[in-house]
Chains A and B, each alone.
Chain A
Amino acid sequence: MKPVVIIGAGPAGIRAAQTLVAHGIRPVLLDEAAHGGGQIYRRQPANFKRSPVKLYGFEARKASALHQTIDSLREQLDYRPETLVWNAEDGALDTLQQGRAARLEYSRVIGATGATDRILPVPGWTLPGVYSLGAAQIALKFQGCAIGERVVFAGSGPLLYLVAYQYARAGAKVMAVLDSSPFGAQARALPGLLSQPATLAKGIYYRGWLTAHGIPVHQGASLTAVNGEQRVQSVSWSNGKGQQPLVCDAVAFAHGLRSETQLADLLGCEFSWSPLNRAWLPQRDSAGRSSVAQVYLAGDGAGIMGADAAEMAGERAALALLEDQGYMIPAQRPAQLEQALERIGDFRQGLERAFAFPEDWATGVADHLIVCRCEEIRAGEIRAVVREGHWEINRVKAHCRVGMGRCQGRMCGTAAAEIIACESRRAISDIGRLRAQAPIKPLPFGLETEA
């Protein structure tokens, strides 16, 4: 009998696994990482001995609970860490584990593929010493090191303040936090944010802590350039009062998160435009059913909602799967979860107002800015293709290679779309969607395959 497969052992995947196990199913749980927990609750290597509180701060309890869950389920799961799902085709997943390719047929699959940072590049962003916010956090959590001694944090989104706080707590000198969203936007967003007072309180706490410790926090402040010869030596930023220089040796930046949707695409899921995420997302119902009968989606991979929502969505998707398989499920639980998810959804709306995406970003981008670092494609090259009459993003990609390199558009896709939309004077939702192509991550020649 073909197994139920869960892809991703983050908050959504682990709770989905737990729910299935509770109903007597032994799912396969595939994860790229060596240890379950996902990016947010990424576990430190075995020889590192820092306390959960030190690693995860306010989230320590949740992180520990999730880690304990997956540890306690080990015997009841077919858990396969360090396994990349690089393709989905014909009712099966293609995996790569330690240089060995294999094929895994599934009866049903829950995709919990998570998210990466949403990047809007600035001049100098390819210099050594520049990281995404998520990467800066992973360096701290997983590698036990800071990205620099004098660090600037820039962009927007909740992670901005959290990572700056974590760095300051870890002993790095945080030179400044440059939040591109204006104070007014955050004040206006307050009513929506009050739907999750505890989460809001944490955000306020981080910021208050930073200010109390003398760390400059600037609002309506855009990172305009990263400067340096061989590596980062300073940044330039601007607000209403003009350009400011700031000496530093590392920068971490991002504008929120973006969903990892390639697998849903290869699984055949229908996509639709999400104005809230400003991205194409796989369609799912309130329980997590995708447009494809055997495919369920949960967590940030299907729309950014955060880790708490991911845990609930993972459980909800698993319950939907169980229900569809004819299992009896607790009668009240689905409605409870959906109501809780709806409340987080309201909060998320508020967050999006508070940390508004800079929709006019593309207008200010200089032609020489490198947008696609894999293929070294500059904004001007993208614009030149658009001026030839092309406006569909896959078509622009075909003409100038933007998004064609190693990252397959994960890093540059957002920025490329913004530039194409701006230059072609079309709505961002009107330039098409970057199609996913296998392999989801690079595959080596000479790999071994199953007999």
Chain B
Amino acid sequence: MIEVDAVIIGGGIVGASAALFLGKAGRRVALLERDFCGSHSSGVNYGGVRRQGRPLSQLPLSQRAHEIWSQLPQLIGIDGEYQRSGHLKLARSLNDLRALQEYADSSQGFGLDLQVLDRNALRARFPWVGEVAVGASFCPDDGHANPRLVSPAFARAARLQGAQVHEQCAVTAVDHDGQRFRVRTQTGLELRASWLLNCAGAWAGSLAAQFGEPVPMHSGHPAMLVTEPLPLVMDASTGVEGGGIYARQVARGNCVLGGGQGFALDDARARPGQSAVLDILRQAVALYPFLEGAQAIRTWSGTEGYLPDRQPVIGHSRTQPGLLHAFGFAGAGFQIGPAVGQALTEIICSGASTASLDAFSITRFHSISVA
């Protein structure tokens, strides 16, 4: 029997950063991961570390995450290939460019420092962008990092901070005896804690449902691919207004691209799917002409939880005191994850998060039926 202050289910970037910050605050923590920490969405996502384009309600948290990312080596012991390259969001029509301008206007005051570029300014500054782009919005301090390295490093840092990290350790039963949670695992562990953090990503819905608050979450499987190393061309991470292909180039020269949806192989694994891969290979050359003739060497996907409003659930359960949720990041949890871990830590240590979490309450799904 393991007695801790908090049991965290899910060793992705949210759960691992919660374990790290709780450990730093002197709390006894156990982090339970069914597979390996940071091996699912947190580790196989595109690697965008981006504030631009998020709903305004996420920007306070995202801004706090931005501060945390600036301290990454001190926090997790590696730089995680994090670079503040800037994030360039391309517009393929004047309507899209207007939408970017509106976002730049409405996000004033959150510290994003967006620069809206017309066609000429875009060409002058980013000559590698294809003619299909009529303009763009540039966020100079956004960037990208290597999720394969960063997310597991949060778990390692948590362990060094004193958290018990159990990998290959699926949770088989959870209940609450009126005072504390009891958690059992496939490996035969039994844990007790006053706090239970549901950070199980796309698989968090069943725990929420068990405590009487089901959510209409579905899984998404982004299609991703990477090229062989190419001469360094892209000096910003990119996306496209209205969705489409996103791309970045790492220091080694490989370009990482994503776009479209793959499919689930089973409950835990996903593949990018041939049609999404072919779409990327055909369409990317219009946005990034230098890719013509380059080779894609590997494709992959992951499993991400989406709620209908594409906003996460973060904060207290309304049915079970001591239960905190943090899941459903709609493929955009990598940048914000560390700030969510910090907010959960604040709830436990000081009663409330300093950043407002109102927009992310699970209660927004209480009145609707779950499909």
On A, residues with C-beta under 8 Å from B are: 87, 89, 94, 101, 103, 388, 390, 392, 395, 398-399, 404-406, 408, 437-439, 442-447, 449
The answer on a CB contact under 8 Å between A438 and B272 is: yes
Q: What is the 8 Å Cβ interface bit string for chain B, positions 295-311, against chain A (1 contact, 0 not)?
A: 11111100000000000
Query: Given A445-B281, A445-B291, A446-B291, does the pair A408, B297 have CB atoms closer than 8 Å?
Result: yes
B300 contact set on A, CB distance < 8 A: 437
Q: What is the 8 Å Cβ interface bit string for chain B, positions 220-253, against chain A (1 contact, 0 not)?
A: 0000000110000000000000000000000000
A406 to B294, CA, bound (A): 12
Q: Choose one: B43, B148, B281, B298; the contact of A444 (CB below 8 Å).
A: B281
B282 contact set on A, CB distance < 8 A: 445-447, 449
Q: Choose one: A89, A398, A404; the contact of B43 (CB below 8 Å).
A: A398
A447 to B283, CA, bound (A): 10
User: B41 at the A/B interface (Cβ < 8 Å)?
Assistant: no
The answer on a CB contact under 8 Å between A445 and B297 is: no
The answer on a CB contact under 8 Å between B228 and A439 is: no
Q: Choose one: A103, A388, A404, A439; the contact of B296 (CB below 8 Å).
A: A439
User: B149 at the A/B interface (Cβ < 8 Å)?
Assistant: yes
Interface secondary structure of A, over-half rule: loop
The answer on a CB contact under 8 Å between A444 and B293 is: yes
The answer on a CB contact under 8 Å between B296 and A446 is: no
A449 to B274, CA, bound (A): 11
Q: Choose one: A390, A392, A437, A446; the contact of B281 (CB below 8 Å).
A: A446
The answer on a CB contact under 8 Å between A446 and B292 is: yes
Top 9 closest pairs, chain A to chain B, by CB: A442-B295, A445-B291, A398-B148, A94-B274, A446-B285, A446-B292, A443-B296, A442-B297, A87-B274
A444 contact set on B, CB distance < 8 A: 281, 293-296
User: B144 at the A/B interface (Cβ < 8 Å)?
Assistant: no
User: B271 at the A/B interface (Cβ < 8 Å)?
Assistant: yes
Residue of B nearest to A266 (CB): B271
Other A-B pairs, 10, CB within 8 Å; known A408-B298, A444-B294: A89-B273, A390-B36, A398-B39, A437-B299, A443-B295, A446-B281, A446-B285, A447-B278, A449-B278, A449-B282
CB A89 to nearest CB in B, in angstroms, measures 5
The answer on a CB contact under 8 Å between A404 and B298 is: yes
Query: Given A398-B39, A447-B281, does the pair A442, B274 have CB atoms closer than 8 Å?
Result: no
User: B156 at the A/B interface (Cβ < 8 Å)?
Assistant: yes
Query: Given A408-B298, A439-B299, A446-B285, does the pair A399, B149 have CB atoms closer than 8 Å?
Result: yes
Query: Given A404-B298, A437-B300, A442-B296, does the pair A395, B36 have CB atoms closer than 8 Å?
Result: yes
CB B200 to nearest CB in A, in angstroms, measures 20
Q: What is the 8 Å Cβ interface bit string for chain B, positions 144-157, against chain A (1 contact, 0 not)?
A: 00001100100010
A89 to B228, CA, bound (A): 24
Interface core residue of B272, B277, B294 (most chain A CB under 10 Å): B277
The answer on a CB contact under 8 Å between B274 and A103 is: yes
CB B332 to nearest CB in A, in angstroms, measures 21
User: B90 at the A/B interface (Cβ < 8 Å)?
Assistant: no
Within 8 A of A (CB), among B148-173: 148-149, 152, 156
The answer on a CB contact under 8 Å between B297 and A406 is: yes
CB A273 to nearest CB in B, in angstroms, measures 19
8 A-B pairs with CB atoms under 8 Å apart are A103-B274, A399-B148, A406-B297, A438-B277, A442-B295, A443-B281, A444-B295, A445-B281
CB A418 to nearest CB in B, in angstroms, measures 21
User: B183 at the A/B interface (Cβ < 8 Å)?
Assistant: no
User: B22 at the A/B interface (Cβ < 8 Å)?
Assistant: no
CB B280 to nearest CB in A, in angstroms, measures 8
Interface core residue of B149, B228, B274, B277 (most chain A CB under 10 Å): B274
A408 to B43, CA, bound (A): 19
User: B284 at the A/B interface (Cβ < 8 Å)?
Assistant: yes
B148 contact set on A, CB distance < 8 A: 398-399
A300 to B82, CA, bound (A): 44
The answer on a CB contact under 8 Å between A89 and B297 is: no
A390 contact set on B, CB distance < 8 A: 36
The answer on a CB contact under 8 Å between B281 and A438 is: no
The answer on a CB contact under 8 Å between A101 and B278 is: yes
The answer on a CB contact under 8 Å between B228 and A445 is: no
The answer on a CB contact under 8 Å between B293 and A445 is: yes
B156 contact set on A, CB distance < 8 A: 388
A439 to B295, CA, bound (A): 10
B298 contact set on A, CB distance < 8 A: 404, 408, 437, 439
The answer on a CB contact under 8 Å between A445 and B285 is: yes
The answer on a CB contact under 8 Å between A442 and B281 is: no
Query: Given A444-B294, A447-B278, does the pair A438, B36 have CB atoms closer than 8 Å?
Result: no
Query: Given A395-B39, A398-B148, does the pair A439, B297 have CB atoms closer than 8 Å?
Result: yes
Interface core residue of A103, A392, A405, A438 (most chain B CB under 10 Å): A438
A100 to B123, CA, bound (A): 32
CB A400 to nearest CB in B, in angstroms, measures 10
B273 contact set on A, CB distance < 8 A: 89
B39 contact set on A, CB distance < 8 A: 395, 398
CB A405 to nearest CB in B, in angstroms, measures 7
The answer on a CB contact under 8 Å between B281 and A89 is: no
Residue of A nearest to B285 (CB): A446
A404 to B228, CA, bound (A): 10
Query: Given A398-B39, A398-B148, A437-B299, does the pair A446, B293 have CB atoms closer than 8 Å?
Result: yes
Residue of A nearest to B149 (CB): A399
A58 to B81, CA, bound (A): 55
B292 contact set on A, CB distance < 8 A: 445-446
A445 to B291, CA, bound (A): 6
B291 contact set on A, CB distance < 8 A: 445-446
CB B157 to nearest CB in A, in angstroms, measures 12
A388 to B152, CA, bound (A): 11
A437 contact set on B, CB distance < 8 A: 298-300
Residue of A nearest to B277 (CB): A438
A216 to B83, CA, bound (A): 56
The answer on a CB contact under 8 Å between A89 and B271 is: yes
CB A393 to nearest CB in B, in angstroms, measures 12
B152 contact set on A, CB distance < 8 A: 398-399
A437 to B302, CA, bound (A): 13
Interface core residue of A388, A392, A398, A437 (most chain B CB under 10 Å): A398
The answer on a CB contact under 8 Å between B297 and A405 is: yes
A417 to B291, CA, bound (A): 33
Query: Given A395-B36, A398-B43, does the pair A445, B284 have CB atoms closer than 8 Å?
Result: yes
Residue of B nearest to A92 (CB): B274
CB A262 to nearest CB in B, in angstroms, measures 11
CB B160 to nearest CB in A, in angstroms, measures 11
Residue of A nearest to B37 (CB): A395
Residue of A nearest to B300 (CB): A437
Residue of A nearest to B257 (CB): A445
A408 to B296, CA, bound (A): 11
CB A165 to nearest CB in B, in angstroms, measures 36
Interface core residue of A392, A408, A444, A447 (most chain B CB under 10 Å): A444
Q: Choose one: A101, A406, A438; the contact of B299 (CB below 8 Å).
A: A438
Residue of A nearest to B284 (CB): A445
A405 to B229, CA, bound (A): 9
Residue of B nearest to A390 (CB): B36
